[in-house]
Amino acid sequence: MLVVHGVWAGDGLAFWAEQPEPSPDSAAKGPGSASRRAGGSAPRPHPHAAPPGALTTALGLSEPAASSSQPGALGSDGVEVRVLELLLPGSVAEPVPSPETGRLAETARPRLRLWRVPAVVPPAATALALLAGRQDTGTLRHWAAVADLARDLVRRGRVLPQLVPDGEAARAVWRPVVNGLDAAHVRELALAMPPACRTARAERPSMDVLREALETFTDALVRRALTEPLVTRPATPRERWLAALTGPEPSCQDVPELRRELTRWYDAATAAEGATRVCFRLLEPTGAPDRADDTGGWRVELALQAADDPSLYVPAAALWAGERAPGLPPAPERELLTGLGRAVRLYPELDRALRVPEPCELPLDTAGAFGFLRQAAPLLQAAGFGVQLPRWAGRTRLGLKLTTRTKAQTAAVSQGFGLRELVDFRMDLAVGEDTVTEEELAELARLKVPLVRVRGQWVELDERQLKAALRAVEGSRAGEASAAEVLRQVVADDGELPLLEVDADGVLGDLLSGRAERRLRPIATPPGLDAVLRPYQERGLAWLSFLSELGLGGVLADDMGLGKTVTTLALLVHEAAGTPTLLVCPMSLIGNWQREAARFAPGLRVYVHHGGGRDAAHIPGADLVITTYGTAHRDLETLRRHEWRRVVCDEAQAIKNSGTLQARAVRAIPAPTRLALTGTPVENHLAELWSIMEFANPGLLGPRARFRTRYQEPIEARQDDEAAAALKRATGPFILRRLKTDTSIISDLPEKLEVKEWCPLTPEQASLYQAVVDDMLAKIDDSEGIERRGLVLATMAKLKQVCNHPAHLLKDGSRLAGRSGKLARLEQLGEEILAEGEKALLFTQYAEFGALLQPYLERRLERPVLWLHGGLPKKTRDRLVDRFQHDPEPMLFVLSLKAAGVGLNLTAASHVVHVDRWWNPAVEDQATDRAFRIGQRKNVQVRKLICAGTLEERVDELIERKKALAERVVGTGEEWLTDLSTGELREVFRLTAEPAQGAVG
């Protein structure tokens, strides 16, 4: 698997990647190569750098042709291949590997050296889309934060157009307006920039690199938002500048006078803090007749508006009449005229309104109103002006309505309905909820008016949409088609003429509704299943069987603990098929599937295809074959040769990155139908949903590049509601998602109570804590780059070990009693839990600390304390789980968070204690759900132990303040903290004199 990095290359963001094994070309050029013998100063190839072809594949870009893999060549999507010289720490043999690779450094004293790496530099718009999809390294996370800032600035209109000299010519660009809190954010980003982000231009300060990247991203985002040209036939130099602001080519003629005016505008805007802005409000005709050819009565009202409080809105007419409002400047008329003078450069039509002494409004005909909607309004808004449009603007559009009727009313799949079945269909043009007749459409085409009233609703109708509508009318609007063809038409919504509504009956209607599990008749617990399915599980079983009979795949995305395993086993028992099902899961879940199958479906023949003794000859005689993602990749050719009823992927987030070897492997195993099981179908970005859907129903959502342009970019970058609705309509029939917090799904799950337990440090811990801080901060302050990141992580680990217990840090085998406030509180909790006759799970991320806790607690509490970690063989793990679940004696179960955070059912516990924090809410919640899941009869109390006054308390505060971003920013544990400045780290690490007291629920 490749580890992708982002580095600023001067004119764009370059991506390069490390691979686990050295490439043959670079390996051949060892320390004794000709370049080294020639003098030793020439940069050497990075031995682990991925070639351009593998890099573009990992990024999801178009495959490069043989010629486009050469430096300087351009791919089909504008991606340039380059060779960069990066300044990286390492030895003579190789650079220090990135932490994300998992490889250990082979040198104790690395030095900075130049290394050559192949890289790809995509256009800025493509780079922005890639950043929204990948945040797996520190550099990509940082560039994603810069991209987020650029999107936020554009969304708030904090951008201005500029004219920048470029040799003898010039370029029209959009620059961000950064001041106030935004300027503080930029400074923080510059301080937090990992050195690896600028190793290609190491001589430049991080602030310069950041500003350059921010301007490049901002310009690309505005150009992507302004899809219509401002000037169709530019004649003057100023018009050519306006045209260059939206087109793909920014080059234009230099106009010094205009450039100076724009610079003064930009300087004034960046110096301003809040104040007011000119606002333009489009008003539709009042009392206009309901006629499609109405061509007048539109106007743009001019006003002054507070930049930080849009509700403070004063029309220009009121200002000229002498009206004043709190928050307006002393001379609001002057502010209005100054703003209008700047706006006229972007909206030349405004010049008509400025020919009177007291401008109040701009009258427009219908064509002018449409031009304001499509061209001027986005441009003015992007430049920081206020814009108010009618509620229907951008929403009420011409689209399609699909109606289908089954030829014979078949109520169930088992009665013979399938995707080859013919249905009657009709395709109508629609505006909102109303259909448009052919005669009405012909009249609209004749009028060629871009804004029309249809059935009392104003509709934007550009020439492209009108042509698409005419094509739809000229084509087949009614007749017979197979259900599969209708389904493809629904999913293949291309956005040109959107599908607004689907009206289908029968089984096809059940499928397209996205609520098939509610409309289908539930399937009762099948004979042979030793369990009683809950009502929502019976509906889920009916849905799975329904899709299977149609030959379609699905995604069972029920919340953790709702019983995806037993529902899947019920499907296998219900089908009683002679062909085996292949189930692919993480290795830690093999035992869980074996136990659950033996418990709930004892009649199923189960074979585990894993380990050194695996034998594919056992596959044909099994009903369920269980294997791991790693084995599926290694044994791909063997598994491809067998016939499968279906392929099931459990914890399907393991294939969320479509380019990984394991994702490719499971997609390559042929099967009539496929099923993905996951509680988190989308963790970070929509590309993960595409990858999982590509496994379940290959090709259904089209190529990844089309998915990105049709859905991912509009939804993630522009919050496009229409694209989101289209994606839901396309994927809804194939995804079943239920939450355990929904009382309509399950009403008898007990409550979960979370409590933070504040533990004091002993004097020994406090002294040791301060010594570690003083020693490590001095080292961190003198380091940079990868070495600094490593030292920060090492400091984190040391301080957390001190908070656990001095013996955990010192590893000296010394006594445990009386030396740790956290251990003392853990003993108290253990005594209380065991005295109540209950059981508890104790999670720690450190296996060595768990090994200390188990014998100590067992001796002190005189009760069984079990210990599960990653080094145990499968049989031992299963035996421990079985004992904890079925032995009635109260006991504690110490578990390594990594080894037991997912996949285990430990509902015998009614208490969960997080001894040391992982600082990733999603990981902690997954661990808690070992107890808080179906089968739990008691309320679950979750306690998180925090040493007061230490970094544990301050990081907890940071997480609470950033709760909405926690899963994305804190998703990899502590690594997000490595980008803090030394001053910020000192604040996080410092030991306060008076720790907080009490507990917070």
At 59-106, the pLDDT tens digits run: 777 654 443 445 555 555 678 888 888 888 877 778 888 776 666 666
Within 10 angstroms of residue 294's Cβ, the number of other Cβ atoms is 19
pLDDT band at 231 (very low <50, low <70, confident <90, very high): confident
pLDDT tens digits for 751-766? 777 777 778 888 899 9
Is 420 in contact with 484 (CB distance < 8 Å)? yes
pLDDT band at 295 (very low <50, low <70, confident <90, very high): low
Range 512-527 average pLDDT = 75
Q: What pLDDT score was predicted for residue 926?
A: 77
User: Is the model more confident about 934 or about 303?
Assistant: 303
Q: What pLDDT score was predicted for residue 970?
A: 32
Range 290-306 average pLDDT = 74
pLDDT band at 413 (very low <50, low <70, confident <90, very high): very low
Q: How far, in Å, CA of 969 to CA of 597, rounded?
A: 38
Q: How far, in Å, CA of 144 to CA of 138, rounded?
A: 10
Q: What pLDDT score was predicted for residue 665?
A: 92
CA distance to 478, 508, 944, per residue, from 481 (Å): 9, 12, 59
User: Is the model more confident about 165 or about 992?
Assistant: 165
- Which range, 783-797, 865-879, 930-944, has the best average confidence (pLDDT)? 865-879
Element (H, E) at 238: helix 237-244
pLDDT of 552 > 60? The answer is yes
Q: What pLDDT score was predicted for residue 517?
A: 61
pTM: 0.50
- Which range, 14-28, 263-277, 310-324, has the best average confidence (pLDDT)? 310-324
Element (H, E) at 778: helix 763-781
What average pLDDT does the structure give for the chain? 78
Is 252 in contact with 171 (CB distance < 8 Å)? yes
pLDDT band at 902 (very low <50, low <70, confident <90, very high): low
pLDDT band at 31 (very low <50, low <70, confident <90, very high): very low
Going by their DSSP bridges, the two strands 673-677 and 646-650 should be labelled as parallel
Beta bridge partners of 583: 626, 648
Residue bearing tokens 């780079």: 127
Range 439-463 average pLDDT = 70
Tell me which residue of 586, 466, 498 sits closest to 874, measured CA to CA. Answer: 586
Q: Which of 191-200, 455-464, 604-613, 733-742 has the lowest mean pLDDT?
A: 455-464
Q: Which residue segments constitute the domains of the chain, with CATH numbers given?
A: 3-225 (no CATH), 274-388 (no CATH), 398-512 (no CATH), 516-736 (3.40.50.10810), 756-995 (3.40.50.300)
Token pair listed for 872: 């145990």
Q: What pLDDT score was predicted for residue 527?
A: 92
Q: What pLDDT score was predicted for residue 74?
A: 52
- Which range, 303-312, 500-509, 850-859, 911-920, has the best average confidence (pLDDT)? 850-859
Element (H, E) at 300: strand 298-306
3-state secondary structure 875-929: HHHHHHHHHHHHCCCCCEEEEEHHHHCCCCCCCCCCEEEECCCCCCHHHHHHHHC
Q: How far, in Å, CA of 58 to CA of 47, rounded?
A: 18
Give the 3-state secondary structure percentages of the chain, helix then strand then coil, rounded to 5: 45, 20, 35
pLDDT of 847 > 60? The answer is yes
Q: What three-state secondary structure class fits 607?
A: strand
User: Is the model more confident about 994 or about 303?
Assistant: 303
